[in-house]
Amino acid sequence: MLGDEQKVQAILENLDTAPIPEAERVLFRFLEKVNREPEHIRQEDVEAVKAAGWTDEAVYDAITVCALFNFYNRWADATGVREHPAEVYERSAERLSKGGYVAPPAPGDKKGP
């Protein structure tokens, strides 16, 4: 779905008619229940997702990603964290493209023995 804004919009508008495989539709319905009524998730819900072709690992990963996004959204909303200006993302992208995720050495740190 990455890069296919029309497909994403179709899913958001109507999951039942969106142009996606049935297995994805089943997974998205399950995740909607995880989001809206997690206290009602039962083994039958998980089994339905697995019957659609998803593995235990895929179900676990989907639940984990869903839960993390819920956590981060609530954290950002509650703390007042807002989106950065485009320049901040551009500087970060430049730094990451050159050095990856390794932090630069702190002033005064020496490399090597």
- Give the pLDDT confidence of 23-66 residue by residue, as tens digits: 999 999 999 999 999 999 999 999 999 999 999 999 999 999 99
More confident residue, 102 or 6: 6
pLDDT of residue 4: 79
Q: Which amino acid is at 95?
A: R
List Cβ<8 Å contacts ≥24 apart for 26-33: 26/52, 26/54, 27/52, 27/54, 27/58, 27/62, 30/59, 30/62, 31/62, 31/63, 31/66
pLDDT of residue 102: 72
C-alpha span between 62 and 27 (Å, rounded): 8
CA 49 and chain centroid, separation? 18
Rg (CA), the chain: 20
